[in-house]
A and B are shown apart, each in its own frame.
Chain A
C-alpha cells in the first residue's frame, strides 16, 4: 500500500495536487490544537483589523483573530464531512450489497425504503428538524440526520453492481465452499464496489460540507460551534460585507473551495487506481 501511494503520488498529477491541497487544509485544521485563544472567547484582540503581520487574516468584529478561529472552523467542518460520509457509506454499502445479493423480496423491501429516501426533500426536512430540536441541536445530531439522508442514491448504484456479481460463477463457488453471506459480501463483492465507495465518499463529503455551510449561513444549526458556515453566519450578522470587513467572509469561503477541489482531485485519481480491472494488472 505504501508503495502504491508513493507511485500514485509520483505519477499521477491529480493525486499529487489533491494530496497537497488537502494536506494544506488538514494542516490548518490541526493548528487549532495550538491556538492561543479558545474558539468561543470574543474580544480577545482588537476588532475589525485588516490582515497584518500581527493578525495574518485580520480580526473579526467580535474581537477574534480570524486565522485561529478559522483553524477551529475548518476542523469542525472537515470532521463533520467525514462523519457524515463514513456513516452514510456504511449504510449504503450494507443495504446495496445485501439487496443486490439477496434479491427477491429482501431486495424489493430495501429498495422501496431506498426510493423513499431518494425522493424526500432534503432542505425542508433539515430546517424542520432544526425547529423541532432547537437548543438540543448539535453537530453530531445533524451529522446523523444527514447521513440518514445521504446514502440512498449510492446504495442503488452499489446494488446494481452487486446484482451483476451475484450472477458470476465465482459467487457460486464461494457458496459451495461454505462461505456465509457476510463473508461473500465482504471478501468477494466489496473489492468490486470500492471504486464506487471511494468516489462517492469524496462527493458525499463535498455534499455534506456544502449543505452544512448553507444551513449554518442561514442560522439553522448550532451557531455556537464554530464551523465555516457558522463563521460566515456571524459575519453576516455583523454585516461584514457592508462594513468592508471582506476578509471575514473571503478567507473562510476560500478555504472551503480549496477543500472541495482537493477532495474532487482525490476522487478522480483514486478511482483509476481502485478500479478492479486496473488492479488486476497490478497483481500480476
Chain B
C-alpha cells in the first residue's frame, strides 16, 4: 500500500542489561503497532512513563536501532532493507529527528552552523550557493537568524537557542516525517507555544507529519491529532488526542492526567522560618 507513510507493525525491542553475573533483560518496547497516512499529515503524540520506551521506539522509526521483533515500513519499504549510503541519505531526506537534549545534540568542540550547512549540502543536496540561504530560512522559521548563530559554539548558546537550531536543522531537507523527542522540554512557556505552533504550521502548510514525544500533556492536547499512551513498553491507550485526554479510560492514563500540576493549584507548602 503506497498510501501509508509509515507503518509500525507489532514492533518490539529487548535489551540485555547488567553485569556479567546479574544479567537481566529489559523489554523496552513491546509489540507496538500504528500507522500514519501520507494523504493526511498529522501530529501523532506519544506520551508515557519515563523509561517506557518512547525514545527507543523513536530510534527504531529513525532506523537507528533495529527492532528485535516486528517490522517498520516507511512508504512500503521495510527499514531493515535500507542498505548503502545512497539509500540511507534518501531515507534521511524524508525522515528527520529532533533530539531530546539540546545540550548533547551538537559536538561541543564544533561550531553549530556546520550542522546546518552539512545538512543543506548533503541531505538536501543543495548547490553550494544556496546552502547559506537555506540555513538562514530554516533558522528564521524558528525565530533565529544565521547572523546570530554563525561561528558560535554550543556552549555559547542557551538551551532554548540550541533546541531551535536543532529544529531548524531538521527542517532543511523538508522531510515528510519529523520525529521529535521532547523538543520543547527545555524551553520557556512562550517559546514552547511558538515551537508547538511551528510544528502545527509544518503540518498544515508544509504537509509534514510529526511524531511528537512529550511529557507535557497540555501541549499534547493543544496540537495533537492522535495520541498513544505508553507504559513499560506497551501501548495502554490510544485514540483521538482530545478524546483520550478529556476522558482517559486506562487506570494509568487516568493517574497521568490526575498528576498534571495545574498552574492555578497550590499544594501544601512548608512554613518559611525567615522571610527575607
- On whether A and B touch (CB less than 8 Å), the answer reads yes
Give A contacts to B, CB under 8 Å.
168-170, 172-180, 187-188, 191-192, 276, 279-280, 283-284
Bound-state CA distance A39–B156 (Å) is: 58
Give B contacts to A, CB under 8 Å.
62, 64, 85, 89, 92, 96-97, 99-101, 104-110, 115, 118-119, 121-123, 153, 155-156, 166, 169-170
Q: What residues of A have a CB within 8 angstroms of the CB of B100 in the complex?
A: 169
Task: Check A177–B110 contact: CB distance below 8 A.
Answer: no
What would be 18 A-B contacts, judged by CB atoms less than 8 Å apart? A169-B99, A170-B105, A170-B106, A170-B108, A172-B64, A172-B97, A173-B115, A174-B115, A174-B118, A176-B170, A177-B115, A178-B119, A179-B118, A188-B107, A276-B108, A280-B109, A283-B109, A283-B155
Task: Check A169–B105 contact: CB distance below 8 A.
Answer: yes
Q: What residues of B have a CB within 8 angstroms of the CB of A192 in the complex?
A: 109
Q: Given A169-B99, A172-B64, A172-B97, does the pair A177, B106 have CB atoms closer than 8 Å?
A: no
Q: What residues of B have a CB within 8 angstroms of the CB of A170 in the complex?
A: 104-108
Bound-state CA distance A279–B119 (Å) is: 27
Q: What residues of A have a CB within 8 angstroms of the CB of B106 in the complex?
A: 170, 173
The minimal Cβ–Cβ distance linking B68 to chain A, given in whole angstroms, is 14
Q: What residues of A have a CB within 8 angstroms of the CB of B99 in the complex?
A: 169, 172-173
Q: What residues of B have a CB within 8 angstroms of the CB of A187 in the complex?
A: 110
The minimal Cβ–Cβ distance linking B79 to chain A, given in whole angstroms, is 15
Q: What residues of A have a CB within 8 angstroms of the CB of B105 in the complex?
A: 169-170, 173
Task: Check B109–A173 contact: CB distance below 8 A.
Answer: no
Q: What residues of A have a CB within 8 angstroms of the CB of B119 in the complex?
A: 176-178
Known contacts A173-B169, A176-B119, A192-B109; 13 additional CB pairs below 8 A are A170-B107, A172-B64, A172-B97, A172-B99, A176-B97, A177-B122, A177-B123, A177-B169, A178-B119, A178-B122, A187-B110, A276-B109, A284-B155
Task: Check B108–A284 contact: CB distance below 8 A.
Answer: no
Bound-state CA distance A187–B114 (Å) is: 11
Q: What residues of B have a CB within 8 angstroms of the CB of A169 in the complex?
A: 99-101, 104-105
Q: Given A284-B155, A284-B156, does the pair A174, B107 have CB atoms closer than 8 Å?
A: yes
User: Which residue from B92, B153, B170 sits with its C-beta under 8 Å from A283?
Assistant: B153
Task: Check B118–A178 contact: CB distance below 8 A.
Answer: yes
Q: What residues of B have a CB within 8 angstroms of the CB of A191 in the complex?
A: 109
User: Which residue from A180, A188, A280 sits with its C-beta under 8 Å from B155?
Assistant: A280
The minimal Cβ–Cβ distance linking B109 to chain A, given in whole angstroms, is 5
The minimal Cβ–Cβ distance linking B186 to chain A, given in whole angstroms, is 13
Bound-state CA distance A179–B185 (Å) is: 27
Q: What residues of A have a CB within 8 angstroms of the CB of B62 in the complex?
A: 176
The minimal Cβ–Cβ distance linking A256 to chain B, given in whole angstroms, is 37
Q: What residues of B have a CB within 8 angstroms of the CB of A276 in the complex?
A: 108-109
Bound-state CA distance A169–B104 (Å) is: 6
Q: Given A168-B104, A172-B64, does the pair A188, B110 have CB atoms closer than 8 Å?
A: yes
Q: Which of B62, B110, B118, B170 has the most CB of A within 10 A?
A: B118
Bound-state CA distance A176–B59 (Å) is: 12
Q: What residues of A have a CB within 8 angstroms of the CB of B169 in the complex?
A: 173, 177
Bound-state CA distance A284–B89 (Å) is: 34
The minimal Cβ–Cβ distance linking A164 to chain B, given in whole angstroms, is 13
Q: What residues of A have a CB within 8 angstroms of the CB of B156 in the complex?
A: 284
Task: Check B108–A280 contact: CB distance below 8 A.
Answer: yes
Q: What residues of A have a CB within 8 angstroms of the CB of B97 in the complex?
A: 172, 176
Closest to A190 in B: B109
